[in-house]
Structure 1
């Protein structure tokens, strides 16, 4: 597909136009982004996921009580929930949020195939929210890009423009609800199934359910903060640096005052740090690992016994296919014309560049991969790590 081809998903804009004019710059309302859209899961299915151990779910009530029983404007509860929890809820003004639904519902994961105009490693997950009339999480901002796809029912969205980091938020609530929210002119819409709203980071927005059984699917994107990136990269480098690489001051002049930390000393330390950090090859290796880390640490289940390469080859030759585990993340980076690093779920391994590209794509993982001599060992290692599985193992 050409990046200049108009896309219904983007309201007739091409990928080039969207990335130039809207991505991380300004919102875009897209009517009929998914024509004749049918939501890939029902409210009861979402509630069922929220009752399962290990699935991140929150219940937001616009009116609740604190630990002392006093009324308060908002209350947030964390799952897993049970049927009794839902039975006690009022008829309106609450919202159920379930993270990473694409990890558990293949039909939801399939929606991500429509977003290939963006790097796959930038995708985070698909959160799904359910709300009866009046359900909301309050006016707030997110520090990442998001596409808000209306799945079922209707939701009113109001935008308040970009807000600074220091914008005041309500105290004592496990939500970043803005104290003040003013709707911008012409930034007030009701979305119906198949409509979608793109929002860049730090854009104030407020969504309120206008109907029974309102379902909204939020496609979110990863964006490490500067403090997270610096800390993580420093830790990654620190694990590889020899203890002999230290501050040095050979050839320094005698100090005017032995207690002074002079400019020359600071400059030497600065050079040590910057020279160590400024390593493009190491930065790329760290970046690939951090951007493919699973969303949840316990998400992947390693095999109990190592995979026998001979058995794996035989299964593939008999027509079996390996599948990528739900939530697994792959990327690749070329090292030269023939070799690449394949990044898979926070790890990296060097292999043939074409093999890395195939594994990081949505290409079926079948016997065609055996054209590469290193494929059996690599596929076995990925299966042992939990990144790949046989279909029947995934179904279990």
Structure 2
């Protein structure tokens, strides 16, 4: 049986979304900055194709956003949702919809508005985020921070994920300081080091810069930062990268510990936890068994586990159900179909069948369809002209793949 990953192999330079943010090759960025050092660059073309003040107003006024897709903060404190949400009225009686008039009041009083999860609610950002996730191999999410002039949203702090900051409109002064806790994990927030963070923030900053539209900052997790809007309304996007860590790798490797009879053994009878000597032999035996477990860990099984975790943390290109149903009903040979972007699938083949394994389902097709599947994954294909299949079979397979959300009509 063959088992292939979800994306064809890509060259080191084939990372257009990452290059747009960094202005450098993926190899150079990985070598000089990834996970270690900040990077400040400028894109002359800006990022208004991704987001703008007009886009923010549309989301606030017309899209009926609800918590937790929105929050507000003032002078370092998060505001109660009741101060900027209310009932949607008849037909939408839920009480936590964004209230544009309340937002206006709080914003005029100096509060920062945070639009969260824009990779799920704003199309251009969703498209770009999928491209960036493909470039990086790590999940990402996007928030917009909209700050009135001369206002500070949050106190100096660090994040437990890497970020790209894209200045969209207005200006904002950023102060960046060296970490007090390098490479923090998700359960190691800055509040665990509040005094050290406050002390470090009083030292001369590593970066002290007024960001203008088009400026991009890469900030590894753990680096301290705070920002103040300088003139007019400031809008910036924060792309948060939920990097898979070596600790995650170790947890995945140890997940099979329950299959090892040596690691299922009870500790010694009469163990006294106040006396380390009473269980020292069990510690030595556990370490030896763990070493043996890690030494024989199948890399293929590890890869599949990590792929499942990555698929759970990301979302593929959305499908349009009504348009897809119409396309299936009216499908002709010349309709172009493309593989659904960022599907995070696994392909399994044997002499009888080819299986497309996704996060939510497994689609099984006869082995004769294997050349068609491989061709569709590589490039768009005509629905009635799939390699290895006659015209009628091509349309049958195409309809099945459309129905299962594997391919989308172009």
Q: TM-score, normalised by structure 1?
A: 0.67
Indicate whether 1:128 and 2:144 are aligned: yes
Quote the offset at 1:369 in angstroms: 8.6
2:228 paired residue number? 208
1:15 touches 1:117 (CA, 8 Å); kept in 2? no
Judging changes above 3 Å, is the alpha-carbon distance between structure 1 residues 269 and 123 closer, same or farther for their aligned structure 2 residues?
closer
Structure 2 counterparts to residues 344-355 of structure 1, below 5 A: 344-345=358-359, 355=373
Judging changes above 3 Å, is the alpha-carbon distance between structure 1 residues 319 and 202 closer, same or farther for their aligned structure 2 residues?
same
1:289 touches 1:348 (CA, 8 Å); kept in 2? no
Alpha-carbon distance in structure 1 between the residues aligned to 2:349 and 2:33: 32
Structure with the larger RCO, 1 or 2 (CA within 8 Å, 6+ apart): 2
Alpha-carbon distance in structure 2 between the residues aligned to 1:315 and 1:177: 63
Alpha-carbon distance in structure 2 between the residues aligned to 1:228 and 1:169: 23
Judging changes above 3 Å, is the alpha-carbon distance between structure 1 residues 45 and 335 closer, same or farther for their aligned structure 2 residues?
same
Judging changes above 3 Å, is the alpha-carbon distance between structure 1 residues 125 and 36 closer, same or farther for their aligned structure 2 residues?
closer
Residues 252-286 of structure 1 deviation map (CA, whole Å, 9 limit, x = unaligned):
xxxxx964676665555555555556221211100
Alpha-carbon distance in structure 2 between the residues aligned to 1:86 and 1:103: 21
Quote the offset at 1:225 in angstroms: 5.6
Alpha-carbon distance in structure 1 between the residues aligned to 2:133 and 2:264: 51
Larger helix proportion of the pair: 2
1:147 touches 1:196 (CA, 8 Å); kept in 2? yes
Indicate which of 239, 242, 261 corresponds to 1:246: 261
SS at match of 2:108: coil
Indicate whether 1:27 and 2:50 are aligned: no
1:52 paired residue number? 65
Quote the offset at 1:80 in angstroms: 3.8
1:290 touches 1:346 (CA, 8 Å); kept in 2? no
Judging changes above 3 Å, is the alpha-carbon distance between structure 1 residues 8 and 263 closer, same or farther for their aligned structure 2 residues?
closer
Quote the offset at 1:152 in angstroms: 1.4
Alpha-carbon distance in structure 2 between the residues aligned to 1:249 and 1:168: 37
Alpha-carbon distance in structure 1 between the residues aligned to 2:60 and 2:264: 63
Indicate which of 195, 213, 218 corresponds to 2:215: 195
Residues 59-79 of structure 1 deviation map (CA, whole Å, 9 limit, x = unaligned):
2222xxxxxxxxxx6124456
Alpha-carbon distance in structure 2 between the residues aligned to 1:140 and 1:229: 27
Indicate whether 1:330 and 2:330 are aligned: no
Quote the offset at 1:35 in angstroms: 2.0
Judging changes above 3 Å, is the alpha-carbon distance between structure 1 residues 232 and 163 closer, same or farther for their aligned structure 2 residues?
same
Structure 2 counterparts to residues 40-189 of structure 1, below 5 A: 40-41=50-51, 42=54, 43-48=56-61, 51-53=64-66, 56-62=69-75, 74-78=77-81, 80-112=97-129, 115=132, 118-119=135-136, 121-133=137-149, 134-164=151-181, 169=191, 178-180=197-199, 181-182=201-202, 184-185=204-205, 187-189=207-209
Judging changes above 3 Å, is the alpha-carbon distance between structure 1 residues 356 and 148 closer, same or farther for their aligned structure 2 residues?
farther
Alpha-carbon distance in structure 1 between the residues aligned to 2:157 and 2:72: 16
2:139 touches 2:310 (CA, 8 Å); kept in 1? no
2:162 touches 2:218 (CA, 8 Å); kept in 1? yes
Indicate whether 1:16 and 2:27 are aligned: yes
Quote the offset at 1:123 in angstroms: 3.8
Residues 19-75 of structure 1 deviation map (CA, whole Å, 9 limit, x = unaligned):
2111112111102x252543533220232477324762222222xxxxxxxxxx612
Q: Which runs of 5+ in 2 are unaligned?
A: 1-10, 82-95, 272-277
Of the structure 1 ranges 21-30 and 48-57, higher mean CA displacement relative to structure 2 is found in 48-57
Alpha-carbon distance in structure 2 between the residues aligned to 1:55 and 1:168: 21
Alpha-carbon distance in structure 2 between the residues aligned to 1:382 and 1:274: 46
1:233 touches 1:286 (CA, 8 Å); kept in 2? no
1:122 touches 1:222 (CA, 8 Å); kept in 2? yes
CA RMSD of aligned residues (A): 5.1
